[in-house]
Amino acid sequence: MAMPNKVITIQSDLDIVAARMAARDMAKSMGFGAIDQARIATAISELARNIYLYAGEGTVTVSEIQQGLRKGLQVVCEDQGPGIEDISLVMQDGYTTSKGMGMGMPGAKRLMDEFEIESIVGEGTKITCRKWKRP
């Protein structure tokens, strides 16, 4: 039986922690191994932090998905912030606008199996990423 979606509103540092924990808890209950749980949680931390830093607020939705016999975890991060002007630039290793030590969007993408960005400048950004459970 699939778990219900979890929607976490991101408005503060504490919400970033809540999103990370929600994703890790769902991954654990679905039977993901410890390493994949950590990968998912780390990617979510980075994406939720970007919502907080650049848009001020948004949502992270964590859900269980199935494609044929494959089961996975899907995370959708959405905001109504400034949008991303140059997606190819933000996806370059080492690119940062926050002077942070974070691994950035390329790192989050590497941690997940699928990663899609939709962004409209002045309207916001939606990032959908998935991690598939290993058979």
Give tens-digit pLDDT for 9-21.
999 999 999 999 9
The Cα–Cα gap between 31 and 6 comes to 17
| Tally of domains within the chain | 1
pLDDT grade, residue 97 (50/70/90)? low
Give tens-digit pLDDT for 119-131.
999 999 999 999 9
Q: Which range marks the domain in which residue 24 is found?
A: 5-132
- At 47, which CATH number? 3.30.565.10
Give tens-digit pLDDT for 27-55.
999 999 999 999 999 999 999 999 999 99
In degrees and rounded to multiples of 5, residue 78 shows phi and psi of: -130, 145
